[in-house]
Structure 1
Amino acid sequence: MMHYVRQLSSGACFLLLSTIVHTVWAQDAAPAEASTGGSPGFLGIIFSGGIIGFIIVMLLLALSITAVYLVVDNILALRRGEIVPEGLADNVREQLGRGQLQPAEDLCREAPGPLAYVLLHGLAEVEGGWPAVEKAIEDATAEQSARLFRRIEYLSVIGNIAPMVGLLGTVVGMILAFQQVANTQGSAGAADLAEGIYQALVTTVGGLIVAIPSLGAFAVFRNRVDELVAEVAYQAQHAVAPLKRRRSRTDTPPPPPQVKK
């Protein structure tokens, strides 16, 4: 599974890099008169910010590649079949209804995943009675929920960091632009200042381009995790219901003896 994830992620990263290289090639292959008299190309805008601007743009590129990898990884990991295997809860319920505890545990071990993890923790507390089973299921469900949320939390981190990185590049570019005006003692015109400002704003645009899809994907995956965790909790309670009914029958007091008149 992880090998498949890496293959898809590498393909997505290669596609992203190919698009960037194609854009750079198209910009650099423009006629000479357009490059000298018009606006600078993509590569020229990147290098116009100096080494600091180039580092920031490369950092944004690294964040975007990481975001693509995380999106592909979570798409594969958060499939329903990976979290709640089809038929596992029903099969475990059937075995418990027959009083077969060990076969029920074997079924869970054969289908590893969050649901199986929760069920195994619940079945391990059978000797402690239904309250212990229920408590173990609740704790294991909360643990698996936290684990799934940690998987998608990195997308939120990227979505919050990328605009800050882009803003840092813009602030640095603005400082350099106004420093150029100061060094020329005000002889630089408005056009020169405007050119420095728009070149500085490129990093802000890059940060937003990375952040917006990352935060959107995080919101989608967060809803998906909520849905799957609720399904795990329901299926776990459904699977161990025979244990609860057995306890109810055990706790039912016997009828009072008949008094003969």
Structure 2
Amino acid sequence: MQWPSTARPMYSRLALAILGTFVLLFLWACEAQGMLQENPAAPADGPTIKAGQMSAISADVPQTQPKPSASFWDIVRASGIIGLTIFLLSVAGLALVIEHAITIRRSSLLPPEFIAEIEGAVRSGQIGRVGELARSQNNSLARVLTAGLAEVDLGWNSVEKAMEEALAEESARLYRKVEYLSVIGNVAPMLGLLGTVVGMIMAFRRVAETQGAARAADLAEGIYLALVTTVEGLLVAIPALAAFAVFRNRVDGLMAEVGLCADRLLGPLKRQMLSPGVVPPRVSTPTPRGSRTS
């Protein structure tokens, strides 16, 4: 998925404006907190507490334990439904990467055993055997060969055109598969930006509720949500877009190899069909369902 060129500056300016707003809000909160610390409230008139009494009182007060560091699930829960959605996108992206790594590779699209069988059948002149082997396999090379051999009776130009169309269809099919990684890579940062906006709204609502007297601790929840969702979106988008680029280039390379391999395997058939006075070989085709032979 490619954003229009006119939309990219708009999203960049929006992200910078939101980030700048959060920086100003955070600096304002820190300044307000510093002013409170510099001007502590004056002690009220009353009885003074001696040093011995103070030590006794402090001994009776329970010591607060430091809070444990937040775990991964704590961070996901703190980011709300937006963070959960980004997490689900990361799971889907990981599943797609594993599936593409298994299916989009040379051994799956160009099986060496299948190529060896086709080469042996072509060398022995068993063109009908080549068609049977191609129809019995479920890979890109087999489908390209099947499409080409179906047009043998019409001449080599028809064979070559059929293989080119089948190769283009295989390329489009694989491109559609890897396109989902691009979708995830573009949607995840948009969800992170949405979480940033929601966190900003929460922070400003807190400021409004306290009539401008909000402390940094009061604004921490909104700022935390904004920053966490932004980081989550980027952590999902960067690997997804990188994987999309890798698999897209792999599809380009493998489809080029499929086309070259199909031309090489049918090279003897091409020379035979282009020789003057030579009758093109017959390739057996599967009988359509419901037809009867007399």
Q: TM-score surpassing 0.5? A: yes
Q: How many angstroms does 1:229 deviate by?
A: 0.4
Among 203, 206, 230, the residue aligned to 1:177: 203
**What are the equivalent positions in structure 2 for 1:24-39 lying under 5 Å apart?**
33-35=65-67
Distance across 2 between alignment mates of 1:92 and 1:222: 28
Gaps of 5+ in 1: 1-30, 253-261
Among 107, 115, 121, the residue aligned to 1:95: 121
Partner of 2:218: 192
Structure 2 CA distance for partners of 1:168 and 1:249, relative to 1, 3 Å: same
**What are the equivalent positions in structure 2 for 1:106-185 lying under 5 Å apart?**
106-185=132-211
Q: How many angstroms does 1:152 deviate by?
A: 1.0
Distance across 2 between alignment mates of 1:120 and 1:40: 58
CA contact (8 A) 2:156 2:274 kept: no
1:94-118: CA deviation from partner (whole Å, max 9, x where unpaired): 4345442220111213332000000
Q: How many angstroms does 1:180 deviate by?
A: 1.1
1:197-226: CA deviation from partner (whole Å, max 9, x where unpaired): 233211010001111111111111111111
**What are the equivalent positions in structure 2 for 1:1-261 lying under 5 Å apart?**
33-35=65-67, 53-89=79-115, 91-190=117-216, 192-193=218-219, 196-250=222-276
The letter of the residue matching 2:258 is: V
Distance across 1 between alignment mates of 2:74 and 2:138: 52
Q: How many angstroms does 1:91 deviate by?
A: 3.7
The letter of the residue matching 1:33 is: Q
Distance across 2 between alignment mates of 1:93 and 1:44: 59
Aligned-residue CA RMSD in angstroms? 2.4
The DSSP-based 3-state class of the residue aligned with 2:177 is: helix
Comparing 197-206 with 168-177, which one deviates more in the overlay? 197-206
1:135-177: CA deviation from partner (whole Å, max 9, x where unpaired): 0000000000111111111111101100001110110110111
Q: How many angstroms does 1:129 deviate by?
A: 0.3
Structure 2 CA distance for partners of 1:147 and 1:32, relative to 1, 3 Å: farther
Distance across 2 between alignment mates of 1:117 and 1:226: 17
Q: How many angstroms does 1:45 deviate by?
A: 5.3
CA contact (8 A) 2:201 2:222 kept: no
Structure 2 CA distance for partners of 1:32 and 1:211, relative to 1, 3 Å: farther
The letter of the residue matching 2:240 is: S
Structure of greater Rg = 2
Distance across 2 between alignment mates of 1:94 and 1:47: 60
CA contact (8 A) 1:85 1:111 kept: no
Structure 2 CA distance for partners of 1:42 and 1:228, relative to 1, 3 Å: closer
Distance across 1 between alignment mates of 2:105 and 2:248: 13
Distance across 2 between alignment mates of 1:191 and 1:153: 43
CA contact (8 A) 1:96 1:242 kept: yes
TM-score (norm 2): 0.67
